[in-house]
Amino acid sequence: MQTPREVVLAGIKSKAYPGAAWAYGNKTSITVDTAGTYRFEDNSTPVRHDSLFDIASLTKVVGTTTAVMWAVSKGLLKITDPVIKYLPSYPSGEVTIKHLLQHDSGMPAYLVSLKNQVSTRDAAIERIITTKPTAKPGEQTTYSCLNFILLMLIVEKVAGKPIDQVLAPLFVELGMNQTVFVPKDRELCLPTGPYEDWRNKFGSKPQDFVQGEVHDPLARCLGGLSGNAGLFSTIEDLAQFCSAILSQKPEWWQQDWAIQQSSKSSRALGWDTKSPSGSSAGNLFGPKSFGHTGFTGTCIWIDPDAKIFAVLLTNRVHPNEENLQIAQVRPQFHDAVYRRLMGASD
């Protein structure tokens, strides 16, 4: 049986990713480790505990869902509210905040061409808000980045401040002092995919690979402050986050949001839940486990029954995003974590 470290090292050896950081534990004990380097090059910077990873769609749960939970806890909004209550130019009166959270709003998955069509954050936001759903709410599940950008805009509206200012005190409360949008120290950040020229019009400095700015195109169009992606974090910060959630420590945390909402989909509110088969959480994490993955090679899973969590951060999109070996590594990693913490066998 492989240990979590052995699973991660095997991934580096097979070139699934250049570097990784991972953590696992329970409410009282946390193990944090790192391996590999920033790039597939000799003399590349080793990954450290303070290395910053572009956590991609983990932003949806660590950031945006957290912000919506907080807003609900403060009475600033209800998840049954229609989106147009807060965004009047949104083209549907039927879609609610809950529809956005559980990805059955009917919104398209992405706007691939947006990066070539706009050159300012305001123009990008206007396009996203006015994009029409392609299906009726509640009819089908389509995982959509647009849902979480709309959620961010709603939180910003009711809070009266940008998403980073909403989240900063919530993160500090949990001891997450390194988790930020738009990091100041580029060199601390692991590189992701190749740099593309469309980034120039948004003020990016040309480089060989994207480093120190968000990899996701939609989030970059929004200046790095977005609800679908954009957060950078360290392994220690995300371990703190998971430990706090496991303890139900934050006042804003609502455990029932992490429960599967419909038999038609594995989606909870913001979070995903474990599919019966083929889950990135592996075979041993329990059926009530909830978590999320990120395109750059990141994932979080929490098992509320076993009272354990696991976090795996990599930059699998470096040097290019065609490398999909992470799909095999993730379930092996989570099974190894479960065995380590619970003493279980397959």
What pLDDT, on a 0 to 100 scale, did the predictor assign at position 184? 97
- Residues (pLDDT < 50) of the chain are none
What is the per-residue pLDDT across 195-231, written as a single tens digit (0 to 9) for each?
A: 999 999 999 999 999 999 999 999 999 999 999 999 9
The full 3-state SS of the chain, as one line of letters, equals CCCHHHHHHHHHHCCCCCEEEEEEECCCCEEEEEEEECCCCCCCCECCCCCEEECCCHHHHHHHHHHHHHHHHCCCCCCCCEHHHCCCCCCCCCCEHHHHHCCCCCCCCCCCCHHHHCCCHHHHHHHHHCCCCCCCCCCCCCCCHHHHHHHHHHHHHHHCCCHHHHHHHHHHHCCCCCCEECCCCHHHECCCCECCHHHHHHCCCCCCECCCCCCCHHHHHCCCCCCCCCEEECHHHHHHHHHHHHCCCCCCCCHHHHCCCECCECECCCCEECCCCCCCCCCCCCCCCEEEEECCCEEEEEECCCCEEEEEEECCCCCCCCCCCHHHHHHHHHHHHHHHHHCCCC
Q: What is the pLDDT of residue 28?
A: 80
Of 187, 181, 232, the closest CA to residue 211 belongs to: 187
CATH number for the region 4-342 comes to 3.40.710.10
Amino acid 172: pLDDT: 97
Q: According to the model, what pLDDT value does residue 277 have?
A: 86
pLDDT of residue 264: 84
Please state whether the predicted TM-score (pTM) of the whole model is above 0.85: yes
Side chain identity, residue 321: E
